[in-house]
Amino acid sequence: MDLNLEGKSAFVCGSTQGIGYAAAVELAELGASITFCARNEAKLKDVVAEFSSRYSNRSFNYVAADFGFPDQLEKALKEHLAQHASPYHILINNTGGPAGGPAHSAGIDEYRQAFNAHLICNQILVQHLLPGMKSAGYGRVVNVISTSVKQPLNNLGVSNTVRGAVANWSKTLANELGQFNITVNNVLPGATETARLSSILENKSAKLGVSIDEAAAQMTAAVPMKRFAKPEEVAAAIAFLCSPAAGYINGINVPVDGGRTGSL
């Protein structure tokens, strides 16, 4: 199986922690150079230094941008690409999810901010990196979204809405770009051991008046595998979809949820 990504460059969003960081590790292990993207510049410098030390035979860069402000991302991206001559072959769209709450009571600004941080920023990234993928004759776009695109999750109204929009945007791109040997797929993580899950468990614990361990037990009870995912398990699916071996996999949703989603 050809998983070799030597000579490939990857732009990985949300890559200083959690699933994004784990994806960067997996891609680097397969031979890719990485550009990290997140809003905290100090953390970005730390991961670049870490990866440069660990994989001394290739380049690592970063772009600092807050996805809450698409104009900021576009400006930072243009500046970076003006100095980064080689094309990107891989784009991992990965952004923290919106706050919880019912769809009907969410404010207009909550929806607007979510669409900016996810759909609009994803579009900016694709439009700027697509020419390089076309010229290289190789492109992989992987969007890290949510199982809610297959089965909406309770009390995540804004997230359910924007994740569904990203999924359909992705499928449309897959139809348009396949002819250029560019694939576009979605990875749908279930509950994964990240900082976001810790926050969810704390809120659930407080709301129900139970311990964090009890709150976690209630959540894992709904998962056939009876545990949370590790970031590395989600990252493995992401990395595979970026590889030459996945060249004919295009326009699909890949749940990595231990079987929790109640549909095929």
CATH of the domain at 42: 3.40.50.720
| Interstrand relation of 33-38 and 253-256 (parallel, antiparallel or unpaired) | unpaired
Q: Quick one: pLDDT at residue 106?
A: 96
Q: Quick one: pLDDT at residue 139?
A: 98
Residue 2 placed within a domain: no
204 plus 244 within the same structural domain: no
Residue 118 placed within a domain: yes
Q: Which two tokens stand for residue 252?
A: 């699909």
Residue 149 placed within a domain: yes
23 plus 86 within the same structural domain: yes
CA dist 125 to 37, 88, 130, 248, Å? 11, 11, 8, 23
27 plus 56 within the same structural domain: yes
Q: Are 95 and 117 in contact (CB under 8 A)?
A: yes
Residue 62 placed within a domain: yes
108 plus 130 within the same structural domain: yes
pTM for this one?
A: 0.96
Q: Quick one: pLDDT at residue 225?
A: 96
Written as one letter, the residue type at 187 is V
Question: What range defines the domain where residue 250 resides?
Answer: 9-190+231-254
163 plus 61 within the same structural domain: yes
171 plus 199 within the same structural domain: no
**Cα end-to-end span (Å), the chain:** 26
Task: Count other Cβ atoms within 10 Å, centred on residue 202.
Answer: 12
Q: Quick one: pLDDT at residue 204?
A: 82
Residue 144 placed within a domain: yes
Residue 29 placed within a domain: yes
165 plus 217 within the same structural domain: no
- Residues ≥6 apart with Cβ < 8 Å to 186: 142, 143, 144, 145, 149, 166, 167, 170, 252, 253, 254
Averaged in consecutive runs of 10 residues, what is the pLDDT profile of the chain (264 residues)?
97 97 98 97 98 92 97 97 93 93 96 97 98 98 97 93 97 98 98 87 86 92 96 98 98 97 91
- What's the CA gap between 48 and 38, in Å, rounded? 12
129 plus 184 within the same structural domain: yes
- What's the CA gap between 231 and 208, in Å, rounded? 27
Q: Quick one: pLDDT at residue 198?
A: 86
